[in-house]
Amino acid sequence: MSLLSDLINLNLSDTTEKIIAEYIWIGGSGMDLRSKARTLSGPVDDPQKLPKWNYDGSSTGQAPGEDSEVILYPQAIFKDPFRRGNNILVMCDAYTPAGEPIPTNKRCSAAKIFSHPDIVAEVPWYGIEQEYTLLQKEVKWPIGWPVGGYPGPQGPYYCGIGADKAFGRDIVDSHYKACLYAGINISGINGEVMPGQWEFQVGPAVGISAGDELWVARYILERITEIAGVVLSFDPKPIQGDWNGAGAHTNYSTKSMRNDGGYEVIKKAIEKLGLKHKEHIAAYGEGNERRLTGRHETADINTFLWGVANRGASIRVGRDTEKAGKGYFEDRRPASNMDPYVVTSMIAETTILWKP
């Protein structure tokens, strides 16, 4: 008699050409990921060859009940690490039946920005450092913490090892390998300053693909935490008090910055970002004011400052970049719950297209 695990792990290619495609989209809150699956007649590797689909937008806070149909447009394909074989994950964005992007579809406007000839010519690279916190399911309190109590102060947990310092490594490593399997350019993981908090990095990724890859990496992570019976939080300050918040530091460079003389281009770009500080902060995630306090490796939310190797700055330039006279910089302002489509396209638009 088959066990449930045997059936979940059935290899479909033994008996059929058909594959399963899991269509993924962003729900009404802008942070909730949704997905559903459909059968396709055979393997597909081009999103343009996938059928559009629809869903009930009134159940995701994205459409009224009397006109609830929202259309999914497939945009990017990844290998499915859960079903494996030829099965796929499909990142989609959402439109009205008339073909208009719905208000929560931030990908569409980002794709327009990234297709601008001036931005295409600059080949913008992104590396996003996604921090997150793992919570106990019943009490919504970080894993490894005593219920209703606190562990010892921060210090031993960042990149720490040991049963009293690293909580949830099995989830973190499963996610790392699953992302590599899926074809996401995940470049590393580490334990964070607050116990129960971790980080993964996606990149370098060019243009719109940075957003696609980060969203699918988030999806895979939440599916893994579902299996583990743990709750995933992207709250930028999950625990008040003397504990680090969670961010999504965004590393960025353009072709001009990576070439000789790039350091001057970087300084001009940072100057532009400073002039638009308020607009960027407004788009960099909900609840970020609880995190950007000027403490715990952050700059105050109302202050814009940059520096070399300064983790208390809004923008940090690495020592290597300063020394080489070219390279990249890190925008440390985005919160862990930011939308990568919004943040990546906004940085490109401000630094490349905007003429103050």
Could you report the per-residue pLDDT of 133-161, keeping only the tens digit for each? 999 999 999 999 999 899 999 999 999 99
**Residues 181 and 287 both lie in one domain:** yes
Q: Same structural domain for residues 80 and 141? A: no
- Judgement on whether residues 167 and 48 belong to the same structural domain of the protein: no
Helix and strand numbers (H, E) in the chain are: 10, 13
In a domain, 192, yes or no: yes
Q: Are residues 137 and 232 both part of a single domain?
A: yes
Q: What is the pLDDT of residue 253?
A: 98
Per the prediction, the chain carries an average pLDDT of 96
Domain annotation covers residue 176:
yes
In sign, the C-alpha dihedral spanning 103, 107, 112, 116 is positive
The CATH number that applies at residue 58 is 3.10.20.70
Pick the last residue of a domain from 104, 139, 165.
104
> Count of domains in the chain?
2
pTM of the model: 0.97
Residue at which a domain ends, from 104, 134, 151: 104
* Secondary element (H or E) of residue 285: none
Range of the domain at 21: 11-104
The predicted pLDDT at position 299 comes to 87
Quick check: is 64 in a domain? yes
Beta carbons within 8 Å of 265's beta carbon, 6+ residues apart: 254, 256, 257
Judged against a pLDDT cut of 90, whether residue 356 lies above it is answered with no
On whether both 122 and 76 belong to a single domain, the answer is: no
Radius of gyration of the CA atoms of the chain, in A: 21
Q: Which of 104, 134, 155 is the last residue of a domain?
A: 104
Rounded Cα–Cα distance for residues 17 and 42 (Å): 5
The answer for residues whose C-beta is within 8 angstroms of residue 159's C-beta and 6 or more apart is 190, 191
Distance from C-alpha of 241 to C-alpha of 91, rounded to nearest angstrom: 37
DSSP-assigned letter for residue 353: I
Q: How far apart are the first and last CA of the chain?
A: 70
Give the 3-state secondary structure of residue 115: coil
- The pLDDT of residue 297: 82
Same domain, 246 and 189: yes
The answer as to whether 6 is a domain residue is: no
* Per-residue CA distances from 193 to 34, 153, 291 (Å): 30, 10, 14
Token digits of residue 239:
């625990």
Amino acid identity, position 151: P
Structure tokens at 207: 């243009």
Beta strands in 45-144 (DSSP E): 53-56, 69-79, 88-95, 125-136
The identity of residue 243, as a single letter, is W
Q: Are residues 59 and 159 in the same domain?
A: no
Do 339 and 30 meet the contact criterion of CB atoms below 8 Å apart? Answer: yes
Q: CATH number of the domain at 160, please.
A: 3.30.590.10
Q: Is the pLDDT of residue 132 over 90?
A: yes
Q: Is the pLDDT of residue 311 over 90?
A: no
Percentage of the chain surpassing pLDDT 90? 92
Q: Tokens for 43, please give them.
A: 């393997």
**Is 1's pLDDT higher than 90?**
no
Nearest-10 Cα torsion for 192, 193, 195, 198: -10
> What is the model's pLDDT at position 20?
98
pLDDT value of position 72: 98
129: left (phi > 0), else alpha (psi -120 to 50), else beta? beta
Residues 130 and 79 in one domain: no
Taking alpha carbons only, the member of 123, 140, 129 closest to residue 334 is 129
Residue 96 sits in the same domain as residue 178:
no
Q: What is the DSSP letter of 352?
A: I
Residues 285, 336 contacting (CB under 8 angstroms): yes
User: Shortest CA distance to 336 belongs to which of 237, 225, 203?
Assistant: 237
The C-alpha atoms of residue 31 and residue 106 are separated, in whole angstroms, by 12
How do residues 168-190 score in pLDDT, each as one tens digit? Answer: 999 999 999 999 999 999 999 99
Residues 192 and 311 in one domain: yes
CA 173, CA 312: separation in Å to the nearest integer?
29
Residue 265 lies inside a defined structural domain of this protein: yes
For residue 110, is it within any domain? no
Task: Tell me if 159 is assigned to some domain.
Answer: yes
Does 2 reside within a domain? no
Is the same domain home to 98 and 128? no
Q: Are residues 135 and 217 in the same domain?
A: yes
Residue with tokens 């990724």: 205
